[in-house]
Amino acid sequence: MTVAIVGAAECDLGSTGLSILGLQTQAITRALADAGLSLADVDGIATTSVARFSATSLAEHLGIQPAWTDSTFAGGSAYEMFVARAAQAIEAGQCHTVVISYASNQRSAKSRSLGGVYEAHTPEAQFEQPYGPLYPASYYAMAAGQYLHKYGASREDLAEVAVAAREQALLNPRAFRYDAGPLTVDDVLGAKPLSTPLTVADCCLVTDGGGAIVLTSLERARDLPKPPVLVLGYGESTTNASMTAVDDLTVTGAVASGAAAFARAGLTPADVDVAQLYDSFTITVLLSLEALGFCAPGEAGDLVRSRGLPLNTSGGGLSYCHPGQFGVLLLVEAVRQLRGECGDRQVADAEVALAHGTGGILSTHATVLLGVDR
């Protein structure tokens, strides 16, 4: 392919007291500075959760009139989907430089609710909301229950995902849990139960934060200051809106999105040096590892315990930052690993990175493969 990521940055993270547009502006201006570009170069915008007309509102705030926008709302996987659409738009010549961004102030604004948001006109309001599931936690909890039942996996297998994430966060000064000290399996099991078998320690953080990446043609990227990160492949799959549509909760849309991305890139899981998998919950990582082909079904617990695959090197949504949608930060960390910018947590000689976003209740799945310019 002929499109590259040339800039990547976070906005302020944690508990900021700032507005969504203010955090978006931080992320975008920092990512453009990282790319050696300015707002005058940007003619494409992809974002969500700014307002009802998300890209429209953001473009006006930035003072630009883009030739291409995308506000596809698909939860946390939207940003991996945006990479595909942006690459296609750039290759087709509709636009030349795209910014993909997201930011939330959900911790400062206390805007997160345990039960989620049900729209009264949807089937879920009639057939699911009356039963009081936590949204999305109870769906992931049921998936975890099926996973443990089907494979005889242990509760400790889930907990190990959170333990591994904390180890990475202790290496990342920007992580919310950087100073929190190590986490043990017993800490996870002993944390407050939320929706069995998951405890609050199986669930991602609730923080402010966000990020932005900048994409342009590889030809142009080679003239910019930072080494280009190539878009090698992408794929996506959308499987369900309700809690009752998917027959087997242990088999996710990551099977299809991963297969499409690897085929497009001409790569296999064995080629991946570092993986950033959306860790909304510990179970999400186990299901995604298996669906993407990093191990056989039922074996993800062993893979995580072995630390055999460099995974969620930022500390992930579990211990680094989770601003409601984590997808763009998966891409930011993947880019930094491929550039060798990750300091104490740098994966040696990382040449191929995978970012996998998941949105809603295992509803949307999008996989992106990135590589260094060889």
How far does Cα 334 stand from its chain's mean position? 10
Of 2, 38, 132, 186, the one binding another protein (CB under 8 A) is: 132
Active site residue 320: yes
Q: How far is the CB of 150 from another protein (least distance, A)?
A: 9
Of 65, 131, 152, 348, the one binding another protein (CB under 8 A) is: 131
Stretch that binds another protein, among 50-58, 189-197, 350-358, 366-374 (CB under 8 A): 189-197
> How many degrees, rounded to 5, is the angle at CA 127 between CA 73 and CA 133?
75
102-138 burial code (b ≥16 CB/10 A, e <16): bbbbbbbeeeeeeebeeeeeeebeeebbeeebbbbbb
Of 125, 180, 263, 296, the one binding another protein (CB under 8 A) is: 125
Stretch that binds another protein, among 173-181, 186-194, 287-295, 339-347 (CB under 8 A): 186-194
Which residue, 26 or 195, has its beta carbon nearer to another protein?
Answer: 195
Which residue, 121 or 374, has its beta carbon nearer to another protein?
Answer: 121
Q: Give 33's contacts (C-beta < 8 A, 6+ positions apart).
A: 7, 9
> How many degrees, rounded to 5, is the angle at CA 358 between CA 354 and CA 364?
120
The yes or no reply on residue 306 touching another protein (CB under 8 A) is: no
Which residue, 35 or 251, has its beta carbon nearer to another protein?
Answer: 251
Which residue, 92 or 131, has its beta carbon nearer to another protein?
Answer: 131
Contacts with another protein: how many residues (CB under 8 A)? 38
Residue 123: cis peptide before it, omega within 30 degrees of 0: no
3-state secondary structure of 365: strand
Q: Which tokens go with 180?
A: 């929190």
Residue of 368, 364, 142 lying closest to 250 (CA atoms): 142
Which residue, 118 or 178, has its beta carbon nearer to another protein?
Answer: 118
Cα diameter, the chain: 57
The yes or no reply on residue 244 touching another protein (CB under 8 A) is: yes
For residue 313, the tally of other CB atoms under 10 A from its CB is: 25
Whole-number Å distance between alpha carbons of 31 and 328 = 12
Of 142, 159, 203, 295, the one binding another protein (CB under 8 A) is: 142
Active site residue 234: no
The yes or no reply on residue 273 touching another protein (CB under 8 A) is: no
Of 143, 164, 229, 283, the one binding another protein (CB under 8 A) is: 143
Stretch that binds another protein, among 4-12, 115-123, 314-322, 354-362 (CB under 8 A): 115-123
State residue 306 phi and psi, 5-degree precision: -75, -15
Active site residues: 278, 320
Give the interface with another protein as residue ranges (CB under 8 A).
113-116, 118, 120-121, 123, 125-135, 138, 141-143, 145-146, 149, 192-198, 242-244, 247, 249
